[in-house]
Structure 1
Amino acid sequence: MIWHRDQLSSWTGFVELVERLNLNEQGDAGWYIRGQSNESWTLQPSLLRQLGEVTVERALGIEFGATRRFTSQYHLHLPADGVDKSQWGSIGWWMVMQHYSCPTRLLDWTLSPYVALYFAVEQSPESDGAVWFFPSSALETVTVNRYGKLRLGSEEQFESHVVAAVYPIEATQHSRRSASQQAVFTICTHLLADHGDVISEAFAGQEDRYPLNKVIIPAGLKDEFLSRLRTMNITPNSLFPSLDGLGRAARDYIRLRTWRTHNEGMAR
């Protein structure tokens, strides 16, 4: 994987990065951004991480079985809403499955740099985190020119044994959580491909214009960043509008009170 790599040394460095993105020619919706709490992690979707070393045929079979089981029982757990779900197709169902913690081939991103930063610092305080970003409109142009448009109703497009093409996609219908997180996704036609590898390959020879970027968040800055994000209302309560968010907020409260107590002790 080839990417442009940088490391932050202060909060100001991240704010300046956000300003550069806002002023870039890509425009408002040009960047897909992802935070990861461990910088050593690659850009693999949750399903790929869980599958491990398997053949494409076996992987597709497992994906099909999980999707069939979910879609056949989904209606048992929610009241009838009158929505015709027969037109959703695999991508629509995978978005729902992803929301309910089922591993899928989708990789989560966001349009908000600060939401991405939250996910980079919220866990693993002992490990460096990372914020990844790339210009989504440029990737879509390159991919469509090379492989054609994403065909939402074509199941065969997602069963490729050879072609690995990553497309940026947005939800057709948001949940409260995905709307709060400004969630977007990438999807790959090859189930076992690392999205970072494919995006890097798509931009090969154009790295000066359209790089895949990785910014390292040092472990020593995570608590400070988490505290600053809290003052911006980038918190579990805003990103996870449910009891789950309340529990996460209490977890962050404990962590930040401990951090401040330690800092106060060091200052004496």
Structure 2
Amino acid sequence: MPVDVVTPTTWEELQHALQTLPTGESPVDANQFCVFRGVSNSSWTLQHSLSRMGGDLGAKERRVLDDFRDFANLELKAQAVEVENPWQLMAVAQHHGTPTRLLDWSRNQDVALHFATSDRRSWGTEGCVWVVNPHLVHQTLPALLKQDLCGSGEAAPGLMRERQMLRALPAVADLDRQAVGPVLPAFFFEPGWADARIKAQNGLFSVVGDVASDLADVLETVPRCARRVHIGPVLKLEVRRKLDASGRDERSYFPGFDGVSAFLGRNHCE
């Protein structure tokens, strides 16, 4: 089933599209929530950064993570990262720009709107915010895997904890053995390790049980779990102005010098 696409033309329509579940229900009434990912170009897929490397992605994933563990050893020790925990190591690597099979998401819709509208070069291009109900995605997990993750008789939560992932899948390679028929498992999880930037962005990650697969393909197999909210150039500029007027900008989502520099670079660019 194709993912639902809506194209609001006003701020009010945009808020409604973001604040209701893809089923059309109110998150409060359904006792569920959504996660968000903003991109500056609506034609972009949900392929992860590792996929752009080509070749044997499984082998490259292992090599990249091994190299990250070795080359960033001092920084990992200084920040008390559990380097033998593959999910924590991969989350840290992804967060700092290393190619991995993870994708960044947020519990905060304004963070997604920021990333959809912050690139001045794309202001003339239609952007997009992905809205996903992770509860429905996790309901499709294989029964045995769901039991390992959540315990007997428990429903899968909207977000997995990193410790749950480590207990059920102690190695990344274990993830690629979980597919049952054509159904690929996909997870949304919160990292146990989080620096100021992840906290400021209410960050979390998604991962698919096949390093060569696009998360969008998985979402299309789960009815009414996702929505694509397209933001045209005119509305994109209005969104950017509203975010900036309320202080929801680089300085909020990238604490420290990096955020200030990015904010100044965007606002002083001719």
Which bin holds the TM-score, normalised by the shorter protein?
A: 0.7 to 0.9
Q: CA deviation at 1:20?
A: 3.2
Pairing partner for 1:42 from 37, 42, 45: 45
- Measured after TM superposition, the shift of residue 157 of structure 1 is 1.7
Task: Confirm whether residue 182 of structure 1 aligns to residue 182 of structure 2.
Answer: no
Asked whether 1:171 is paired with 2:191, we answer yes
Report whether the alignment pairs 1:51 with 2:49.
Answer: no
Single out whichever of 15-24 and 238-247 deviates more from structure 2.
15-24
Alpha-carbon offset, residue 156 of structure 1? 3.1
Aligned pair 1:193/2:213, yes or no?
A: yes
User: What is residue 67 of structure 1 aligned with on the other side?
Assistant: 65
Are residue 119 (structure 1) and residue 118 (structure 2) matched?
Answer: no
Query: Is the CA contact (8 Å cut-off) linking 1:91 and 1:152 kept in structure 2?
Result: no
1:155 matches 2:151: no
Structure 1 residues 133, 84: CA separation in 2 closer, same or farther (over 3 Å shift)? Answer: closer
Q: CA deviation at 1:141?
A: 1.9
Q: Are the equivalent residues in 1 in contact too, given 2:76–2:83 (CA < 8 A)?
A: no
1:249 is aligned to 263
CA distance in 1, matches of 2:53, 2:76: 29
The TM-score normalised by the length of structure 1 is 0.82
User: What does 1:71-150 align with in structure 2 at a 5 Å threshold?
Assistant: 71-77=69-75, 80=78, 83=80, 85-87=82-84, 89-123=85-119, 124-145=122-143, 148=146, 149=149, 150=165
**Counterpart code for 2:14:** F
Q: Deviations over 1:25-81 (max 9, x none)?
A: 4446x2111101000001111111x223x3xxx211111111101102222346645
How many residue pairs end up in the alignment? 242
The whole-number CA distance in structure 1 between the counterparts of 2:220 and 2:76 is 40
Instruction: Quote the RMSD (CA, aligned, Å).
Output: 2.4
1:221 aligns with 2:235: yes
The structure-2 alpha-carbon separation of the partners of 1:7 and 1:71, relative to structure 1 and needing over 3 Å to count, comes to: same
| Corresponding residue of 1:261 | none
Going by fraction, where is helix more abundant, 1 or 2?
1
Structure 2 unaligned spans of 5+: 150-164
Identity of aligned residues (%): 24
User: What's the TM-score, normalizing by structure 2?
Assistant: 0.81
Give the Å deviation of 1:212: 1.5
Q: SS of the counterpart of 2:140?
A: helix
Distance of 1:220 and 1:226 partners within structure 2: 10
CA–CA separation in structure 2 for the residues paired with 1:161 and 1:137: 19
Return the alpha-carbon distance in structure 2 between the equivalents of residues 2 and 190 of structure 1. Answer: 20
The question of whether the paired residues in 2 share the 8 Å contact of 1:108 and 1:183 is answered with yes
Q: Distance in 1 between matches of 2:135 and 2:66?
A: 32
Q: Is the 8 A contact 1:132 1:212 kept in 2?
A: yes
CA contact (8 A) 2:134 2:188 kept: yes
Give the direction of change, closer, same or farther, for the CA distance of 1:146–1:139 in structure 2 (3 Å limit).
farther
Q: Which amino acid aligns with 2:234?
A: G
Q: Point out where structure 1 has 5 or more consecutive residues left out of the alignment.
A: 259-268
